[in-house]
Amino acid sequence: MDDPGLTSIERLKHIEEAISKIEKFCQDIDEQKFLEDEQVSSSVLYQFIVIGEAVRFVNPEILKKYPYAWHLPRSFRNYVAHEYFGINLKQVYKTVKDTLPEFKGIIQNIIESEANK
């Protein structure tokens, strides 16, 4: 159940923490290991659910200030949650390696900028 008492900054920090966990899980792991290790891939998928859920509850006025396709993390969360049987783990690994670093930078920038307001 959603906690209405959480602020947007707290939600953004949850996203940052989930990204850090994904980075930790995937540290020194190549694609083949990711595809073979169910614990790692399942852990990463869960953190993507956390990210998508947290983004959903960040104040949209905050997100509008930062150019990013904010529907993507929410859509990816829905994909993982509802298409669990058909997830393309190669694409998930590619997302971790190619997309997550930029997303992390955006989230950190928002936290730094918005926390001081």
pLDDT by residue (tens digit) across 44-89? Answer: 999 999 999 999 999 999 999 999 999 999 999 999 999 878 899 9
Percent of the chain with pLDDT over 90: 90
Per-residue pLDDT, 4: 67
Asked, for residue 111, whether it belongs to a domain, the answer is yes
Domain assignment present for residue 17? The answer is yes
- Range of the structural domain that residue 45 is part of: 8-115
3 located within any domain:
no
69: in domain: yes
Indicate whether 95 belongs to any domain.
yes
Token pair of 93, please?
Answer: 């690994």
Q: Which residues contact 72 (CB under 8 A, 6 or more apart)?
A: none
The answer to whether position 2 is within a domain reads no
116, with CB counted inside 10 A (0-12, 13-18, 19+), is exposed
Residue 74 appears among annotated catalytic residues: no
Burial of 77 (0-12, 13-18, 19+ CB in 10 A): buried
Backbone torsions φ then ψ of 27, nearest 5 degrees:
-60, 130
Check if 77 is active-site: yes
Residue at 24 is within a domain: yes
Number of structural domains found in the chain = 1
Whole-number pLDDT of residue 3: 58
Residue 59 lies in a domain: yes
Selecting among 11, 56, 71, 77, the annotated active-site residue is 77
Which residue out of 11, 14, 71, 82 is catalytically annotated? Answer: 82
What contacts 62, CB < 8 A, 6 or more positions away?
A: 8, 110, 114
Which ranges of 6-59 does DSSP label H, i.e. alpha helix?
Answer: 8-26, 31-36, 38-56
